[in-house]
Amino acid sequence: MNDALQYFYDAEADVLYVSKGEPRAESDSDEVEEGVIARFDPVSREVVGFTILNFLKRAGKPFSSSQVLPFTVDLRLTS
């Protein structure tokens, strides 16, 4: 299974979608902060992705590379 971090930004809706590996239709979700939705594996409860509503509005314009987002990511090299 490829767990590479994948993301998609919907500019029209101002929504950022991030998934660990391919997005999973069978995931559960919970709003962990206003406008931030975490997606979980229904069996292991592992976080498999998240969605941030009003992404650029939250970040302020222009988006800064030093912007702190409300999540942490465990990054590992894939082969």
What is the pLDDT, as a whole number, of residue 8? Answer: 86
Domains of the chain, by residue range, sit at 5-59
The pTM of this model reads 0.70
- 10-residue stretch averages of pLDDT, the chain, 79 residues long: 76 88 82 89 87 85 53 53
State whether the Cα torsion 55-60-61-66 is positive or negative: negative
Residues 68, 77, 42, 27: is their CA dihedral positive or negative? positive
